Structure 1
Amino acid sequence: MGEVVGGSAEVAGTRLTDRIGVGVVTRLINRDLVDEVLAETGRVEQRSRLLPARVVVYYVLGLCLFFGESYEEVMRLLVDGLRFLGTWRKAWKIPTTGAITQARQRLGAEPLRELFERVAVPCAQRGTQGAWLGSRRLMAIDGFILDVPDTENNDRAFGRSVGVKNPAPFPQVRVVGLGECGTHAIVAARLGPWRINERVFAERLIADFEQDMLVIADREFYSYRLWEAAADSGADLLWRMPAGPNLPVVRALPDGSYESFLLDPRVRGRRATQRHRGSANIEEPSGIPVRVIEYEVTNREGKGEIFCLITTIMDPDAVSAAELAAAYEQRWEFESSLAEIKTHQRGRGGVLRSKSPQMIEQEIWAFLLVHYAIRHLMCEAAEQADIDPDRLSFMRSLRVIRRRVTDQAGFSPSASSRCPEDDTR
């Protein structure tokens, strides 16, 4: 029989709080990793508590797995199965909302951010369908906005979009992520006030680019400086150009694309001044070499729209214009993964629950961790079934994982546990 030690019930010599987890999610975010991160971030307690730091980490993940539930109900979902077993003498007391809030504040955001950065890596294998263009891993950058509670601290830290007629009802956080198109797994992210342009966060993501990646971006991300910095990372790029810049044709290529160059805006302005003054010493054209692919698509209104893509892949024999145009369409897969967080995990129109900026950051990193764990599991299921991960339903997978958390009483499953492919379709 167990006894209460330091506020925790013991089960066969092991504290109940040592056994609380979030089911299949803990296959990736295991106890040893959590303890290591807590030690490195200085969150290991000096005394035993009702809510040890490790439990709080898993609890915060549970909040994002069961987003619509209250603080105390999420804790009940994690421990009720253990209570049903009746293997300890004294029941573990469900902490109050105030105690849970204080425990979250002690934990802070850093451990969740560090866990995400450790765990979230590209998970597509070489045979994963829809994840590659030849030897290049298809990746994309994109951003989204999350509404947070209307508190003075949140408003001061994050701000809100202010329109003359329709100001935003809540403060807002901007999140920009780098994601794997074939698996929808977000592998890096930056977040901050909504008023900071998403290109600023995209520039901070360049450190996560790898040489085997083809990074795709929509026209809102283009700037000369950002392209220059991203190209220097060694990853290949495929970005849509905004309307405006006319790219000169240096050499037409047999697949319909052409070689061109990007001109530094400061140089362009200097040349315009020289022409205006009639200078005879106008510099020769120079800039960053790019390859341009132009094609027309029919938009939702049934009208033709010209797409202008630029890439660092200069050889049409290596990748054709048609292949690059098809690859650009995979960017929509990453947009879908952002919608999974906003619509399915959080709930349509939902507002995050945290009342302070530090807790908002903690909550967002937890959301990203849970999403990655679900997508990683789906990728494994797709590999076993030899199908495209796109054929599996994120919403159904989320329901399966929620059921297993409660069915397994929050026990961390063994590494051999699997989510059957039939469950996730």
Structure 2
Amino acid sequence: AYCKARRNLPLQMVSNVARQTGRLIVARTPDAWHWRGRRVKLVDGTTVTLPDTPENQTVYPQQMSQKPGLGFPIARMVGLICLGSGAVLDAAMGPFKGKGGSEHALFRQLLDRLEPGDVVLADRYYCSYWLIAMLLAIGVDVIFGQNGVRKTDFRKGIRLGARDHIVEWSKPCQCPDWMEKTQYEHFPKTLSIRETKVASKVLVTTLLSPNDAPKSELSELYQQRWHVELDLRNIKTTLGMETLCCMTPQMNEKAMWVYFLAYNLIRLLMCEAALQAEIFPRQISFKHTLQVWAAWSRHPWETVGYEQTGMLFVLIAEQRTGNRSGRIEPRAVKRRPKPYPRLMKPRGQACDEIRMHGHPKKLK
């Protein structure tokens, strides 16, 4: 009965509710949560694996390096997240490889969710002429990391300060495969771009005035880009979206939006708690909020009054996250994995071999 009810739930309704929840959260954010009075939107991509079914393999095929029957379908997602509140505003899902599966292609589907005056914060992968030109056309500024392919020479352009200048980027000579020729002609021939070096990174931004966007503030703002990595980790690891469990692509997309809706509802609790405690939502632990709400939701709703609801927000804001900017951690795990080898052949074939020859001696 649960599976039938979930199948009958319209995908458009679930996605609209998740998006609307994100917009309502952002609409209630005070100006103190913004950067210089402007809303900052974070963009980043991630991947999730799906069950190995013919339907999932058709829409979200496994990686080419994996043999048939050994890998899992893999999908790419790109999310648009508000920096101030942490709410998911929109997301796009596509295949990991193939046409329309790159992060750029998925992000272009989300451009309509941006508003004039927004500032988009992303890593160096998004630093391209086409994306910057599209965002400028709708009145959105950007702060990206410099792409490693592009070389930065601070001796050129208009000097603004030490390792800080404005240069002109020329439009690429060739029209991309995904773009129409008429659309290519409408793009400007050059873009005025500000390049500035902070620490060991070169930042690319369309905020050209050093008075409106000082170099030090750009550096501090770009450091907060890491929040999008933590937000995606909360969705995938804390909420459990790292591996979707549905048998069809449509149901997996529906499950993705249910996860985003649940995430936004938890973010709504965090924002309400932050408003009452007069702190920023980023100072509150997502995991702690989830645990408090899980325990709180076991109480009968008839016994919950206004005072008890206020106590819920007090408990949520009680646990603060540490301000550990600039920390460095090894990309390694302390606990050793179990000594089981990878499955390098189809499961049915492996089961037949075990029936004939038994398990390997070292694994008995």
CA–CA separation in structure 2 for the residues paired with 1:226 and 1:167: 38
Equivalent positions of 1:12-411 (< 5 A) are 99-121=1-23, 122=26, 123-128=28-33, 132-163=34-65, 169-195=71-97, 196-247=101-152, 249-254=156-161, 256-266=163-173, 287-297=190-200, 307-346=201-240, 350-408=242-300
Q: Which amino acid aligns with 1:258?
A: H
* Cα deviations by residue, 1:45-92 (Å, 9 ceiling, x for unpaired): xxxxxxxxxxxxxxxxxxxxxxxxxxxxxxxxxxxxxxxxxxxxxxxx
Contact between 2:127 and 2:204, CA under 8 Å: does it hold in 1?
no
Secondary structure, aligned partner of 2:257: helix
Contact between 2:273 and 2:316, CA under 8 Å: does it hold in 1?
no
CA–CA separation in structure 2 for the residues paired with 1:415 and 1:360: 39
Structure 1 residue 164 displacement after superposition = 5.7
Q: Residues 166 and 290 (structure 1 numbering): CA distance in 2 closer, same or farther, change over 3 Å? A: farther
Structure 1 residue 405 displacement after superposition = 2.8
Unmatched 5+ stretches in structure 1: 1-98, 269-285, 298-306
Unmatched 5+ stretches in structure 2: 176-188, 320-364
Identity of aligned residues (%): 26
CA–CA separation in structure 1 for the residues paired with 2:168 and 2:29: 33
Aligned length: 297
Secondary structure, aligned partner of 2:81: strand
Q: Which amino acid aligns with 2:315?
A: D
Q: Residues 287 and 244 (structure 1 numbering): CA distance in 2 closer, same or farther, change over 3 Å? A: same
Structure 1 residue 326 displacement after superposition = 1.3
Higher-Rg member (1/2): 1
Contact between 1:184 and 1:336, CA under 8 Å: does it hold in 2?
no
CA–CA separation in structure 2 for the residues paired with 1:156 and 1:388: 44
Q: Which amino acid aligns with 1:420?
A: F
* Cα deviations by residue, 1:280-310 (Å, 9 ceiling, x for unpaired): xxxxxx611111111333xxxxxxxxx2211
Contact between 2:164 and 2:197, CA under 8 Å: does it hold in 1?
yes
Contact between 1:250 and 1:260, CA under 8 Å: does it hold in 2?
yes
Q: Normalising to structure 2: TM-score of the pair?
A: 0.75
Q: CA RMSD in A?
A: 2.8
